[in-house]
Amino acid sequence: HAKRNGTVFELYSGPAESESPRYLTLISELHTAIVENQFVLHYQPRVDIGTGRISGVEALVRWRYPEQGLMPPAEFIAIAEQTGLIDPLTHLVLEAAVQQCRAWSDQGFDMPVAVNISVNSFHDPDFLTRIDTLLATWKLNPALLQLEITETTLMKEPAVVRNLINRLKERGIVVAIDDFGTGYSSLSYVASLPIHTLKIDRSFVIRMLESPRTRSVVAATIFLAHSLGIKTVAEGVDVGEQVEALHEMGCTEIQGYYFSRPVEAEQLRRWAETFSLE
């Protein structure tokens, strides 16, 4: 058992358990959860410390698990990916994110929303059509929708990914490379893709303060990305010292508990209204 947010979830802990009753129950519960849409999105802001303003939010899914509170994505995204449930789940997340973005826009709060996309969705032949339909239905400016794909995804399917990123860019949808530094892609490969942003993985942000080598890697990544016209976001920033170090290195966009944890939509908007860097 693992304690999360004061609730107890039995953890599924790997392929060895893939035939276990718990795993099979979870799959069937996940089916129901998708049919009934038992999911909620939380939003975490990204702050541009250069301008002192919020530059966007990331939508992070949680499962309103019956009677036990919110289950974090680490405990069900992998299962959804293994069972083909990720496509309908991604669609629910995209729909909720687009709807929320529209609602904020109507309130005069124009906030780009980033959604995490699994590698599986790149094989979903309906992926682009679904996005087009969503944007048209909600009359949303495509520039307000951002998609995050992990560096690992990028390396798995270079040709497919390149094609999809191009098609998204044609529509004005911005793509960010997530968890950058955890895979083995080179920056020159990444730079050959029409991507907008690199998100520097939290593991680097954590090690950066103690390890001069890590600090050099982060500084060089930021410098190279910027000279290639790619923006950088540091993720998982939770102390002021990290903010200062990143600012010195030229990385202005910061996401992490230092500014805010992921929170519900209404709370995010209130936070944004009162936010000030000073």
Task: Return the residues of window 167-226 that contact Ca ion according to CB under 5 A.
Answer: 178-179
Interior angle at CA 223, CA 52 and CA 251, nearest 5? 20
Residue nearer to ligand C2E on the CB measure, 6 or 229: 6
93 lies in the binding site for ligand C2E (CB under 6 A): yes
The site string for Ca ion over 223-242 (x = CB under 5 A, - otherwise) reads ------------x-------
Task: Return the residues of window 247-266 that contact ligand C2E according to CB under 6 A.
Answer: 256-257, 262
Report the partner that residue 256 touches, choosing among ligand C2E, Ca ion, none (CB closer than 5 to 8 A by kind): ligand C2E
Phi first, then psi, for residue 226 (nearest 5°) are -65, -40
Task: List Cβ neighbours of 210 (8 Å cut-off, separation of 6 or more).
Answer: none
* Residue 138: CB atoms within 10 Å: 16
Interior angle at CA 252, CA 246 and CA 255, nearest 5? 85
Phi first, then psi, for residue 62 (nearest 5°) are -135, 150
DSSP-derived secondary structure letter, 123: G
Cβ atoms of 109 and 272 closer than 8 Å? yes
72 lies in the binding site for ligand C2E (CB under 6 A): yes
Q: Which stretch binds Ca ion (CB under 5 A): 98-106, 129-137, 142-150, 151-159?
A: 142-150
Interior angle at CA 1, CA 59 and CA 9, nearest 5? 35
- Paired sense of beta strands 69-71 and 145-150, if any: unpaired
Task: Return the residues of window 111-140 that contact Ca ion according to CB under 5 A.
Answer: 116
Pairwise CA distance, residues 147 & 114, whole Å: 5
* Residue 200: CB atoms within 10 Å: 30
Report the partner that residue 181 touches, choosing among ligand C2E, Ca ion, none (CB closer than 5 to 8 A by kind): none
177 lies in the binding site for ligand C2E (CB under 6 A): no
151 lies in the binding site for Ca ion (CB under 5 A): no
The site string for ligand C2E over 220-249 (x = CB under 6 A, - otherwise) reads ---------------xxxx-----------
179 lies in the binding site for ligand C2E (CB under 6 A): yes
Interface contacts to Ca ion, rule CB under 5 A: 116, 148, 178-179, 235
Interface contacts to ligand C2E, rule CB under 6 A: 44, 60-61, 72-74, 77, 93, 116, 118, 178-179, 235-238, 256-257, 262
